[in-house]
Structure 1
Amino acid sequence: MRAIVYEKTGDSDVLREAERPVPEPGPGEVRVRVVRSGVNPTDWKSRRGRLEFPEAVPNQDGSGVVDAIGPGVEGLRTGQRVWLWEAAWQRPGGTAQEYVVLPERQAVPLPDGASFDLGASLGIPALTAHRCLTVADGGPDRLAPGALDGRTVLVAGGAGAVGNAAIQLARWAGAVVVTTVSSEEKAALARAAGASHVVNYREEDAAGAIRAAAPDGIDIVVEVAPGPNAGLDAAVLAPDGVVAVYANNGGDEITVRVRELFTRNIRYQFVLVYTVTEAAKLAAVEDVSAAVAAGAIRVGTEAGLPLHRFPLERTAEAHDAVEAGTVGKVLVDVAGDE
């Protein structure tokens, strides 16, 4: 089978195409014929940062068809369409290859009507968004229609992959969603995703605009740039609000005014989906699947998430596109749709 591999860390030119044996599933595992591989920032960061195995295949997310089943697998069958998550976390084999073997729990049935493009776009972005939306004081710890009724959510960077998923999941759960963007192009994408109010922080008083949209304050901030946005978040949060931080865009340091936050019982919650509890991951997988089945999560420009496609042999270019901040979702076409 064709696979994209790397044996050392570095720029994207460490990625190369190779022929590898088709792997066999062991107990509790399934083999999936990969159709799409999704690229996330952690994929290029891992490629640059560390290599835990003599050789690795990149990319955490994907979609495809179950091709073989190992002993003890009960919830999946051959021929079933699935979406994949955390394929390369503490494992050498990600989704940038024609076949991947995974524990059964990491291959999730893809509902009828959901495309392989959508399946490969879920994974880490959707699970991260779910976690950010379920860490507020008093809950909810699960998402479903009505779970966020009465809550107001601020999504920083609503045109990103996590931001897009957060907007769609929050709206499905009943929240009023405000989002910040840096251009009119991104504003159009955030509106397409379903944001109730869109604020261009480069062209208007962001705090004033957010306060006008949410007079009682923001309950949950889904935060991609905690350092640059610390002052804005403090200015718009409601009492007992939470800032759920899932990235460090703009730097690793945060400066806050302590009294301004503790008098309102404001909380910062840092989120890395790879290291949250197993229970939290599986709850997120279940809720995201329910949202997909309900048609509440979509992809494409009309859903606020443009798709950018690369063939398998150009996976390095796909990594470069994500590292360069391409707006939308970068996918690798590993095989054609059935």
Structure 2
Amino acid sequence: MKAIVYTTTGTPSVLDLVDRELPEPGPSEVRVKIAVSGVNPTDWKSRVGGGPGQELPFPEVTPNQDGAGTVDAIGAEAADLAPLLEVGDPVWTFLSQHQRATGTAQEYVVLPVEHVVALPEGVSLDVGASLGVPAMTAHRALTVSEQGPSRLAPGALDGKVVLVAGGAGAVGHAAIQLARWAGATVVTTISSDAKAALATAAGAHHVVNYRTGDAVAEIQAVAPDGVDIVVEVAPGPNAALNLAVLANHGTVAYYANNNGDGVTLDVVPHFAKNIRYQGLLLYTVGEDALAVAAEDITAALRDGALPVGEEFGLPLTRFPLEQTAEAHAAVEADTVGKVLIDVAG
């Protein structure tokens, strides 16, 4: 089978296309024939590591956490753990390369059955490959506030106001869609008219250009009683804005630290408003939280709530498997939307 590998950290040039033996699933594993591999910032950051030449956890690594394809083989115990999963079923995968040597930038991948999720009928493999890191991160961000909810479903966020920082990014896009599906009023901050159009297409009720106007005043006009949840990509630069617009018992759920090395908080007004800063990282959040996210995301998929493509606010940029290096470079260069690799040609 064809696979992309690297044996040392570094630039995209360390990625090579090679032939490898077809892997066999263990008792609690599933082999997936990958059609589309999704690329996330975490993928190129893992490839770069601490710098060129850093020792890898495995002699050889195949990158990419997310993907979609069809079930190709099922281990004996996996068949008992997921009795409804059958060979040929379309599926999406998540955390495919976490603590493992091989991810989805290859024709076949063997995964724990818990990280292989059936795609509902009619949901495309492009959607499946665009879930994983973005959608599960967004789900977690929307379910960690002090006053709930702990699960997402239609009506779960009724009466809540959600502010999504960076609504044109992949996580921001998924957060807008999931929050809208769950009944929230969704506000998002963006930096250009083009990104405003994408956030609106994703389903945001209100878009605020933080570069051209008074973002605090615009958000307060939309949410005079305050924002309940902030899905935050840049907690440092946005700390003052978040304090100004958050409601009592509001939560900042942060999953990245874009454009800043730290967060400086004015302590008294934060504890006076009972504000919670909640960090989240999929790699350490635990299997129970991941399983809940997969279930809720699947329900949203059944309702058609997570479409992709420019007309739905998430442009797709595609590369063939042999151009995985270019795909990684595109994500590293902050290409707007989702970068996908067509593994199956």
The two structures have a TM-score, normalised by structure 2, of: 0.96
1 CA distance for matches of 2:147 and 2:160?
11
Task: Say yes or no: does 1:71 pair with 2:80.
Answer: no
Match of residue 38 from structure 2: 38
For residues 132-169 of structure 1, give each alpha carbon's deviation from its aligned partner in whole angstroms, at most 9, with x where no partner exists: 00000121110000000110000000000000000000
The runs of at least 4 aligned residues of structure 1 exceeding 6 Å deviation read none
Which amino acid counterpart does residue 72 of structure 2 have in structure 1? D
**Partner Cα distance (1:302, 1:187) in 2:** 13
| Structure 2 CA distance for aligned equivalents of residues 316 and 69 of structure 1 | 31
Q: CA deviation at 1:22?
A: 0.5
Is 1:308 aligned with 2:317?
yes
> How many residues of Structure 1 are paired with residues of Structure 2 in the alignment?
336
From 86, 90, 93, the counterpart of 2:95: 86
Q: Which amino acid aligns with 2:22?
A: V
1:6 lines up with 2:6 in the alignment: yes
Q: Distance in 2 between matches of 1:323 and 1:245?
A: 20
Q: What is the letter of the counterpart of residue 295 of structure 1?
A: G
SS in 2 for 1:64: strand
37, 52, 62: which one pairs with 2:67? 62
Letter in 1 for 2:194: E
Q: Which amino acid aligns with 1:33?
A: K
Shift, 1:252, TM fit = 2.3
Instruction: Report what 1:210 is aligned to.
Output: 219
Counterpart of 1:318, as a letter, is A
List per-residue Cα deviations over 1:53-92 (Å, max 9, x = no partner): 0100000000001111111122211001000100000100
Residue 261 (structure 2) pairs with residue 260 (structure 1): no
| Alignment map for 1:1-338 (pairs within 5 Å) | 1-49=1-49, 51-74=56-79, 75=82, 76-336=85-345
Aligned position for 2:53:
none
Give secondary structure in 2 for the equivalent of 1:101. Answer: strand
1:228 match: secondary structure? coil
User: For 1:121 and 1:277, how far apart are their aligned partners in 2?
Assistant: 21
Cα-Cα RMSD? 0.7
1: distance between equivalents of 2:292 and 2:311? Answer: 28
In 2, Cα distance between equivalents of 1:139 and 1:180: 23
Shift of 1:105: 1.2
Shift of 1:228: 0.6
Aligned partners of 2:251 and 2:119: how far apart in 1?
Answer: 32
Kindly provide the CA deviation profile for residues 211-261 of structure 1, in whole angstroms up to 9, marking residues without a partner as x: 001111100000001111111111100000000000110122001111111
Structure 1: gaps (5+ residues): none
Deviations 1:34-55 (A, max 9, x none): 0000000000000011621010
Q: 1:274: how far off?
A: 1.3
What is the CA–CA distance in structure 1 between the aligned matches of 2:76 and 2:7, rounded to whole Å?
A: 31
Query: For 2:324 and 2:236, how far apart are their aligned partners in 1?
Result: 32
Structure 2 residue identity aligned to 1:67: D
The alpha carbon displacement at 1:200 in A equals 0.5
- What fraction of aligned residue pairs are identical, expressed as a percent? 66
What is the rounded CA distance, in whole Å, between the counterparts of 1:233 and 1:138 in structure 2? 18
Structure 2 unmatched ranges of 5 or more: 51-55
